[in-house]
Structure 1
Amino acid sequence: MAALGLLSLSAALPASALPASGVPARDLPAAGPAAAPRVPTPGEARTDAYLRSVREQPASLGEFFRSMPKGGELHNHLSGAVSTEYLIELAAEDGLCVDTATMTAVAPPCGPGTRPAADARTDRAFHDALVRAWSMQDFPAGGNGHDHFFDTFGKFGEVTWRHRGKLLASFADEVATQNQSYLETMVSPASEGAKKLAADVGWDPDLDALYKKLTAGGRLDALVKEAIEEADAGDAEFRAAARCGTERERPACGLTVRWISQVSRGSSPERVFTQMALGMWLAERDERFVAVNLVQPEDWDSSLKNYRLQMRMLAHLRGVHPRAHVTLHAGELWPGLVKPEDLAFHIADAVGTARTERVGHGVDLVHEDDWQGTARTMAAREVAVEVPFTSNAQILGVSGADHPFETYRSYGVPVVLATDDPGVSRIDITHEYRYAARTYGLSYPELKDLARASLEYAFVPGPSLWRGNPTAEGYRTVPACRGERPGVPVRSTACRRLVEGSPKASLEWRQEAAFAAFEASHATPVR
């Protein structure tokens, strides 16, 4: 992405000035369940030596992180993932207008107080003003990053709902060129249909009765069909935009992509429940959809008021749809943003009540009641935390030593790096890995295991290549593949059966082969 480096968190906080954790050492466990330091392989040791040798050489360091295999992208919102420049071009292609007072895209015709979005093609000042309004570009230090970040979605929303397939082709290209092999991205399926069905059904505090009303007469089934048809249309647009199946197909075509159904947590309870039920039905009936997630600011009054109710909704629906996955934005809060009592339980309830399989952000961990117990539960159940460093800094002002990244790791909680809304944030996943390495002094083997975790805790079906709890016990191959060498043909029939028969193991094996090639290319430290 051309904007890489426009907002550098690591420049603001040198690693040498940072403590090792987001909490005082006395609050860390004396002996957590994290894996004991493993002995690097010769290839890992040589690659780590190379990394250390180029830490003060920006060009070489940047190339190292760009070319390093980085697994999967698990936490991002499609509408906020593509570049702002591409959104402006789409607005121009669609003949949209821009309200010049608010810099919001609106449908044509362009009346008083608006101008054609196409003007941005020739008017550089107008183009740059749109970039600043629709992203965090040039956002001033000390400004209200939280509100500006979330306001961008309303400003470009008229663009993004029209082109799911084109947005996916653009972002999937970026993910593939970042040397990632898997993408889960969030969208709102059949949004208008879900809104109408919820309004027709209304609210009933008896969740079982409410579910029966939604499904009566095949109404929810019809909504699922609408969402599938919408996904089919998006897929067709994606294939056309990415030129899949042609001699000029784009990198996006080789990426494994899955959808996560967004639920608008700030909406009425009946609409939230309807979106949840729709997402879970989709996850069980269409392999393109894998999970449900709650979106919108966690600190909104309506979000805070209904948080525990929404966790109970998910718990109820998980009993009805046990094969659907759940990953939740939880703990995207910080002191001063909400009252102390609202910091006390969000991650704990997501894990304990809704039984989420992953936590998005999880920034306020150490401000929750019995946070140590929550962290131990997450470690024991392998509930991963999705960490987008840049958006945490932009929205909450949390970075470096204040971030619980190292606290989660010290408790053995699986951690995966993510981008959240890279188009809005003006970054990419390479930026996040590079920031993590510099800020927390991570070695190459530690970075490699973060990338491994992004596939291990992805919602990909099939047995894993790794045995046991890899975060706690280390990444050890299952007995069937012990002794096999990634990058060369598999010899064992049992291992071949696993790799060819399990989508998860197949992705993991491909990544191990990519690591072997990457390590072979960085065998000699720079002097």
Structure 2
Amino acid sequence: MRRLVLLANAMVLAITALGAPAQAAQAWFEKLKAEATPEQLYTFLYALPKGGDLHNHLSGGVLSEWLWDATLAQADKGYTYYTKVRIENCENYGTNEFGMAPYLLLFRNLQASNYDKLDACEKREYKRLQDLSPREKAGWLDSIRLDQPYEGRNEFFGAHWQRLNDVSNNPYIWADMMVRDMQAFGAEGLSYLELQHGAFGALKPDGSVFPPDEVVDIYRERLARKDAKATGVTLRLQITLLRFLPNAEEILKTLYAFVDRNRDLFVGINMVGREDNDKGYPLRFLPTLRELRRHYPDIKLSIHGGEVDEPNEHVRDTLLLGAERIGHGVNLISDPDTMLLMRHGPYLVEINLISNLLLEYVSDYSQHPFPEYLRIGIPVALSTDDRGMWDSNMSDEYYVAVKEFNLSWEEIVQMGRNSLQFAFVEEPVKQKLLKDYDKRVESFAAAFKRRGWDSLNDVEPVSYSFLCKRYKLCLPRHH
């Protein structure tokens, strides 16, 4: 009996010893959270190695100031842009080919080839971007930010993209925006970006359409330049399908073929658009996807699912389509059978805390299901969605998560690994990214434990208006 007791005690001591490193790691971070000022905590999280951003719409994820500069710079390539600054109540509006656009929408952008097709009255409503007054320029910049308390989901889905309009169709602008994203995200510790963006419908200065493969060549050329490579960030793209279009199935077939022949840059397909528009319900696409999988190997799917208020089985149905990642998953909490299915993988939920609040899918973070998913073992990773519209960044997402849900160090590190483990990038690159991430995190933690806040003396954190408005944490803003 004595021998059994001694053996049991030895086992307890061994287990305790094995757990000591984890407990020590937990202790230093718990002390940091308890004692750090908001500015210190944000600085720590800004410098933190973060892995990747797997849910980022490029056209909604860049800062207004970047887009302004890039759009004006297109004059060198023969583009001129006009934006709507007044309403003249023109008699013939709606009779021309632009009549499908909301007429009472200021700061809608046209390139010169489309502006020239307007009648005289409608032309008076527009000004060249470079001719805007300071007040009009400020209005243009704010028109593609969700920066007022009365703005929400309808403004986002019903005005933002319609305002961008022709600016969305210039491949040179978006190639430059990819690099700006790489620079900004690289500065806050990310090593991988998987941006959602298309290559169809791009316009030349004369209004003719670029072939999509020519658009991809424009992207490749820009990403091969020295400034892009210097960021140290690996970038891949998903192409998007607007899910509720009447011909969405035929478009999906075109996108499969496109991704198949551009696999070096495009790694998957994503279905986007308001999920509460039931014309885009997931199972609509199941027959088409089954047909496509007979012809194309290993086309990855990461699909918006559960970004709705009401309970439904969209997440389950999205998994049935073949998705490996779910975007948002807010209402997954109402589908316990699917939650059980997703515990411990092989599926990941792309969590967008700031987006879900500003688009009113939760009215307060106490309602957000993120901590439940995280702590019952459903793989999750933080992402930024349309961060240009929110005027935020990835460090803001981490700050929200730590402040609202008391994340442990182990949870932070695991989410960073998840963001790389579930990336669609080719496997050898993924393994290198994971290995580098582990080294960076270990080095970062070791430096902080050794030197404390002195290890962050050279860090200059960048934040934007969301954190200032929500948490009264107003840091220098850099464009």
CA contact (8 A) 1:48 1:443 kept: yes
Equivalent AA in structure 2 for residue 91 of structure 1 = T
CA contact (8 A) 2:70 2:176 kept: no
Residue 477 of structure 1 corresponds to none
Matches of 2:19 and 2:317, distance apart in 1: 34
Matches of 2:19 and 2:61, distance apart in 1: 35
Residue 413 of structure 2 corresponds to 448
1:80 partnered with 2:52 = no
Residue 521 of structure 1 corresponds to 447
Alignment equivalent of 1:117, drawn from 126, 129, 135: 129
Matches of 1:236 and 1:129, distance apart in 2: 33
Matches of 2:174 and 2:453, distance apart in 1: 44
Structure-to-structure mapping, 1:399-410, within 5 angstroms: 399-410=364-375
Residue 126 of structure 1 corresponds to 136
How far does residue 380 in structure 1 lie from its aligned partner after superposition? 5.2
How far does residue 167 in structure 1 lie from its aligned partner after superposition? 1.4
Matches of 1:39 and 1:104, distance apart in 2: 59
CA contact (8 A) 2:51 2:191 kept: yes
Matches of 2:345 and 2:442, distance apart in 1: 30
How far does residue 506 in structure 1 lie from its aligned partner after superposition? 0.8
Matches of 1:328 and 1:39, distance apart in 2: 40
Alignment equivalent of 2:288, drawn from 313, 321, 331: 313
CA contact (8 A) 1:311 1:350 kept: no
Residue 206 of structure 2 corresponds to none
1:188 partnered with 2:198 = yes
Residue 267 of structure 1 corresponds to 245
Alignment equivalent of 2:181, drawn from 147, 150, 171: 171
Residue 334 of structure 1 corresponds to 309
Note closer, same or farther for the CA distance 1:91–1:191 as it changes in structure 2 (3 Å cut).
closer
Q: Provide the secondary structure at the position in 1 that maps to 2:138.
A: helix
Which of 1 and 2 has greater Rg?
Answer: 2
Note closer, same or farther for the CA distance 1:318–1:250 as it changes in structure 2 (3 Å cut).
closer
How far does residue 428 in structure 1 lie from its aligned partner after superposition? 0.4
Residue 166 of structure 2 corresponds to 158
Matches of 1:324 and 1:425, distance apart in 2: 31
Note closer, same or farther for the CA distance 1:226–1:58 as it changes in structure 2 (3 Å cut).
same
CA contact (8 A) 1:283 1:323 kept: no
How far does residue 53 in structure 1 lie from its aligned partner after superposition? 4.3
Per-residue CA distance 1:295-341 (angstroms, 9 max, x = gap): 1111125324xx42124433432343231111100111003xxxxxx
1:506 partnered with 2:441 = no
Equivalent AA in structure 1 for residue 64 of structure 2 = T
Equivalent AA in structure 2 for residue 376 of structure 1 = L
Residue 71 of structure 1 corresponds to 51
Equivalent AA in structure 2 for residue 288 of structure 1 = L
Note closer, same or farther for the CA distance 1:40–1:440 as it changes in structure 2 (3 Å cut).
farther
Equivalent AA in structure 2 for residue 379 of structure 1 = R
Unaligned runs of 5+ in 2: 1-17, 75-79, 87-105, 117-122, 204-208, 455-479
Note closer, same or farther for the CA distance 1:176–1:522 as it changes in structure 2 (3 Å cut).
same
Alignment equivalent of 2:352, drawn from 388, 391, 402: 388
Residue 252 of structure 2 corresponds to 276
Equivalent AA in structure 2 for residue 396 of structure 1 = E
Matches of 2:182 and 2:453, distance apart in 1: 33
How far does residue 275 in structure 1 lie from its aligned partner after superposition? 3.0
Per-residue CA distance 1:227-266 (angstroms, 9 max, x = gap): 3332111222344xxxx33xxx356642111110101112
Matches of 1:425 and 1:446, distance apart in 2: 25
Matches of 1:359 and 1:129, distance apart in 2: 35
CA contact (8 A) 2:241 2:252 kept: yes
Residue 201 of structure 1 corresponds to none
Unaligned runs of 5+ in 1: 1-36, 194-222, 336-342, 463-501
Note closer, same or farther for the CA distance 1:38–1:125 as it changes in structure 2 (3 Å cut).
farther
CA contact (8 A) 1:177 1:251 kept: no
Q: Provide the secondary structure at the position in 1 that maps to 2:268.
A: strand
Q: Provide the secondary structure at the position in 2 that maps to 1:293.
A: strand
Matches of 1:508 and 1:38, distance apart in 2: 24
Note closer, same or farther for the CA distance 1:191–1:266 as it changes in structure 2 (3 Å cut).
farther
How far does residue 50 in structure 1 lie from its aligned partner after superposition? 5.2
Note closer, same or farther for the CA distance 1:190–1:252 as it changes in structure 2 (3 Å cut).
farther
CA contact (8 A) 1:46 1:519 kept: no
Residue 337 of structure 2 corresponds to 373
Structure-to-structure mapping, 1:395-474, within 5 angstroms: 395-398=359-362, 399-462=364-427
Number of positions where the alignment pairs a residue of Structure 1 with one of Structure 2: 394
Matches of 2:234 and 2:221, distance apart in 1: 16
Q: Provide the secondary structure at the position in 2 that maps to 1:458.
A: coil
Note closer, same or farther for the CA distance 1:38–1:357 as it changes in structure 2 (3 Å cut).
farther
Note closer, same or farther for the CA distance 1:349–1:191 as it changes in structure 2 (3 Å cut).
farther
CA contact (8 A) 1:74 1:183 kept: yes
Q: 172-181 or 278-287, which moves further after superposition? A: 278-287
Equivalent AA in structure 2 for residue 357 of structure 1 = E
How far does residue 59 in structure 1 lie from its aligned partner after superposition? 2.1
1:60 partnered with 2:40 = yes
Matches of 1:93 and 1:235, distance apart in 2: 20
Matches of 2:242 and 2:19, distance apart in 1: 42
Note closer, same or farther for the CA distance 1:88–1:298 as it changes in structure 2 (3 Å cut).
same
Per-residue CA distance 1:75-118 (angstroms, 9 max, x = gap): 01111111111112233334311111421111235820112212
Residue 69 of structure 2 corresponds to 89
Matches of 1:92 and 1:323, distance apart in 2: 40
CA contact (8 A) 1:50 1:526 kept: no
Structure-to-structure mapping, 1:246-261, within 5 angstroms: 249=227, 253-261=231-239
Q: Alignment RMSD, CA only?
A: 2.7
Query: Under a length normalisation based on structure 1, what TM-score does the superposition of the two structures give?
Result: 0.69
Matches of 2:139 and 2:50, distance apart in 1: 33
Q: Provide the secondary structure at the position in 1 that maps to 2:193.
A: strand
Q: Provide the secondary structure at the position in 1 that maps to 2:321.
A: coil
CA contact (8 A) 2:60 2:388 kept: yes
Q: Provide the secondary structure at the position in 2 that maps to 1:74.
A: strand
Per-residue CA distance 1:28-68 (angstroms, 9 max, x = gap): xxxxxxxxx9765477346514532444x122111101100
Per-residue CA distance 1:421-466 (angstroms, 9 max, x = gap): 111111100000110011011112211111111001111232xxxx
